[in-house]
Structure 1
Amino acid sequence: MIIDRAEVIVTSPDRNFVTLKLTTGDGLTGLGDATLNGRELAVVAYLRDHVVPLLLGRDAGRIEDTWQLLYRGAYWRRGPVTMAAIAAVDVALWDIKAKAAGMPLYQLLGGASRTGLLAYGHASGSDLPELFDSVRRHRELGYRAIRIQTGVPGLKVVYGIASNGTAEADALPVEEDWDTRAYLRHLPAVFEAVRNEFGPELPLLHDAHHRLTPIQAARLGQSLEPYDLFWLEDCTPAENQEALRLVRRHTVTPLAIGEVFNTVFDYQQIIREQLIDYVRGAVTHTGGITHLRKVLDFAAQYQIKSGMHGPADISPVGMAAALHLGLAIHNFGIQEYMMHGARTDQVFQQSFTWSGGLLHPGERPGIGVELDVDEAGKYPYVRAYLPYNRLADGTVHDW
């Protein structure tokens, strides 16, 4: 199984996606997701100009060796661009290997550890009636766990509110506003209202999106304890890993961290000291299946579970890879799942299923996704940025 062709395909059916397609001399193909939201072309250049020449003529079956070559051989290690590129190669090679074996990828990873993967969706609203309607819509779609994001009185636009319509901008980044004290005052009342409306059984999640200091995060976690959250996500920027010790001392609300992390070294301290409960890494951004599996095996020693990142900017290729990994590992926790748009589903033909609140990667050999190149060609790249925050005094703040 010698690699004789490598293509980097950029398409924007509903948003930008970067896909690596590898083809072997005997006609097997493998896909890997290399999408880095808002910086997509940086990964395209890394793959086309630096990685692809290293792949041609290599044995597609040597997955671990190829991973180490791309990680150690570059000398300049880690970082989102490098690790997204490595992830794309890694998943494409696993796709080829599973196709060669004639079985779905999860079988090569040890077989299924469960019948399906519990997933959560994103309910949001600028006010409580809109939020309640969103929760009801998600329950009708079959979600059995729901993330709650809400507007804050006095703020025009807040992260995670679908009706704001500012997830991406096609010119320059959208500027949003932020007030931490207003947020901390408002949020407990939101969760009290949601619990009163929907009862105690529904698993609820919330994403603070890195916007709080450690002491503010501790206060939020403590104030949300009466509402029994499944997790509080990214409560404070976790580059300062010691900061989570303070949060942990003051709240028993479960913590999920890691969607902006790239390697096991980012997680090393917070896993070893048991400062988190869920690993939020994405296959797409954490070096692929090979590396994220190692992170999750490390986490399992401390009873820490997976909560893999799965927004709509992870392509169906990246989502499928996450589902195969999640089905196989023992310490699966929950899978984020934002449904892709109809045009994306036409470009990426998928075998994974959604039923009864559970995801399954399907039984097609490989990862179960095929790319329609002709359809992808209808949607050229569109420059897009994520928003950013400013405080009332004009200071740039974490979005």
Structure 2
Amino acid sequence: MTSIQTAEVVVTSPDRNFVTLRLTTEDGLVGLGDATLNGRELAVVAYLREHVLPLLIGRDAHRIEDTWQFLYRSAYWRRGPVTMAAIAAVDVALWDLKAQAAGMPLYQLLGGASRTGLLAYGHASGRDLPELFDSIRDHLDQGYQAIRVQIGVPGLTAVYGVAASPRAGGGRYDYEPAGRGAYPAEEDWDTRAYLRHLPAVFDAVRNEFGPELPLLHDAHHRLTPIQAARLGKALEPYDLFWLEDATPAENQQALRLVRQHTTTPLAIGEVFNTIWDYQELIREQLIDYVRSAVTHTGGITHLRRILDFAAQYQIKSGIHGPTDISPVGMAAALHLGLAIHNFGIQEYMKHGTRTDQVFHQTFTFTDGYLHPGDQPGLGVTLDTDQAGQYPYEQAYLPYNRLTDGTIHDW
């Protein structure tokens, strides 16, 4: 038995807010887990500090499955993003500790590598086509071999996924929708204008960059099922790698309608937290890619269960990886992605300089492919002195209103 001696939550805000669980064993090993829930960070901090950490002291650090089941089942009130982010942080920290104790990179404990690297996609955006083309070229110059395309819509002042200044920071896309301040920003939305505009954008991108470049797009839950079906069908000539979150998938049966009308591949799930959210979608083969993050879905232990279930139906991974997933969460995703057979693609946004000073990483990005590295454990360490220089700042994600004032999905 190797017991957990100390457990602490570190909250830091170098480029944005991050919540990190830090477990130390009696033999001095330190394991890290990401518990960041963008816009609701302190809810997870309280859940961990008030309810979970007291249960971990003295617990055997090697009993990962038992600890997962204990934290999930003993609370009685199950599921949800706060609970599952807290469990994920513990789970990933325990995997980090176990792999360090074994002297192996974590992916080796998950069965070893199933590939030499992980294809990554980057986020290109622009307020208009010239800006978008510049952003795509920037990403290609950085080595990306797959590109998510987001663009402004004429008549709308702000659109999800479009950086206000795409070339800021030497071309590094650093769109952080969670604005720091006491109240969330209000944005506007017009679905009909979006549906009219987007097919012409992809036509222009294909004409400029050719048929081979994998292109992705995120509709961000803003469409009804029939609108999602219309968009998927309209985008078929442009051979998308996937259309993401075309409609809110809490209504899992809605995806049946979308499937009836389009062969555009569908990616769903970045707001899902458990295997129960996916049960019908996977069993009925209504999606093609699982979008959950390790950080929000109960950790490596639980997301592995979801992806093993998906593999029976030839559904692949597309693990959520924006910059509000900390380098700890990103490293966990890379180790899992390297090991599973049904890997699809990995979302990857480069963190800012201050974040990289707080979280020291060994994962690499070369010629469009990520690799978690071969250091024992996750391969990420936390500089607590640097973290202390960036205290938490209140931040909220935006929300949308339609032209008549109705609040709409953002």
Q: Give me the TM-score of the superposition, normalised by structure 1.
A: 0.99
2:76 equivalent to 1:67? no
Question: CA-to-partner distance for each residue in 1:119-148, whole Å, 9 max, x for gaps?
Answer: 000000000000000000000010000000
How far off is 1:382 after superposition?
0.3
Structure 2 partner of 1:109: 110
Alpha-carbon separation, structure 2, partners of 1:202 and 1:312 = 23
2:373 equivalent to 1:372? no
Structure 2 partner of 1:27: 28
Structure 1 partner of 2:17: 16
Alpha-carbon separation, structure 2, partners of 1:349 and 1:157 = 34
Q: 1:391 aligns with which of 395, 398, 402?
A: 402
Alpha-carbon separation, structure 2, partners of 1:35 and 1:62 = 24
Matches within 5 A, 1:1-399: 1-163=2-164, 167-171=177-181, 172-399=183-410
Number of positions where the alignment pairs a residue of Structure 1 with one of Structure 2: 399
Q: Give me the TM-score of the superposition, normalised by structure 2.
A: 0.97
- 2:269 aligned partner, one-letter code: G
Alpha-carbon separation, structure 2, partners of 1:4 and 1:61 = 13
Alpha-carbon separation, structure 2, partners of 1:298 and 1:169 = 37
Question: CA-to-partner distance for each residue in 1:358-398, whole Å, 9 max, x for gaps?
Answer: 00000000000000000000000000011110000000000
Alpha-carbon separation, structure 2, partners of 1:202 and 1:262 = 31
The answer on whether the counterparts of 2:360 and 2:381 sit within 8 Å (CA) in structure 1 is yes
How far off is 1:167 after superposition?
1.2
Question: CA-to-partner distance for each residue in 1:342-364, whole Å, 9 max, x for gaps?
Answer: 00001000000000100000000
How far off is 1:170 after superposition?
1.6
The answer on whether the counterparts of 1:166 and 1:387 sit within 8 Å (CA) in structure 2 is no
How far off is 1:168 after superposition?
2.0
Question: CA-to-partner distance for each residue in 1:159-189, whole Å, 9 max, x for gaps?
Answer: 1001266712222111100000000000000
SS in 1 for 2:233: helix
- 1:324 aligned partner, one-letter code: H
- 2:279 aligned partner, one-letter code: Q
Alpha-carbon separation, structure 2, partners of 1:161 and 1:290 = 34
SS in 1 for 2:143: coil
Alpha-carbon separation, structure 2, partners of 1:169 and 1:285 = 21
How far off is 1:70 after superposition?
0.2
Alpha-carbon separation, structure 1, partners of 2:313 and 2:343 = 13
- 1:67 aligned partner, one-letter code: W
Please, which moves more after superposition, 163-172 or 226-235? 163-172
SS in 1 for 2:295: coil
SS in 2 for 1:74: coil
Alpha-carbon separation, structure 2, partners of 1:312 and 1:177 = 24
Residues 218/381 of structure 1: CA separation in 2 closer, same or farther (3 Å cut): same
SS in 2 for 1:163: coil
How far off is 1:285 after superposition?
0.2
- 1:52 aligned partner, one-letter code: L
Alpha-carbon separation, structure 2, partners of 1:166 and 1:330 = 32
Alpha-carbon separation, structure 1, partners of 2:204 and 2:307 = 35
Alpha-carbon separation, structure 1, partners of 2:252 and 2:392 = 36
The answer on whether the counterparts of 2:38 and 2:178 sit within 8 Å (CA) in structure 1 is no
Q: Structure 1 stretches (4+) deviating beyond 3 angstroms?
A: none
Alpha-carbon separation, structure 2, partners of 1:361 and 1:55 = 27
The answer on whether the counterparts of 1:324 and 1:367 sit within 8 Å (CA) in structure 2 is yes
> Sequence identity of aligned pairs in percent?
81
Structure 1 partner of 2:171: none
The answer on whether the counterparts of 1:166 and 1:174 sit within 8 Å (CA) in structure 2 is no
Alpha-carbon separation, structure 2, partners of 1:115 and 1:290 = 22
**Gapped regions of structure 1 (runs ≥ 5):** none
Question: CA-to-partner distance for each residue in 1:293-333, whole Å, 9 max, x for gaps?
Answer: 00000000000000000000000000000000000000000
Alpha-carbon separation, structure 2, partners of 1:157 and 1:350 = 33
SS in 1 for 2:180: coil
The two structures, once aligned, show a CA RMSD in angstroms of 0.7
SS in 2 for 1:27: coil
- 1:9 aligned partner, one-letter code: V
Question: CA-to-partner distance for each residue in 1:33-92, whole Å, 9 max, x for gaps?
Answer: 000000000000000000001100000000000000000000000000000000000000
SS in 2 for 1:289: helix
- 2:288 aligned partner, one-letter code: D
**Gapped regions of structure 2 (runs ≥ 5):** 166-174
SS in 1 for 2:19: strand
Alpha-carbon separation, structure 2, partners of 1:177 and 1:197 = 30
SS in 1 for 2:220: coil
- 1:48 aligned partner, one-letter code: R
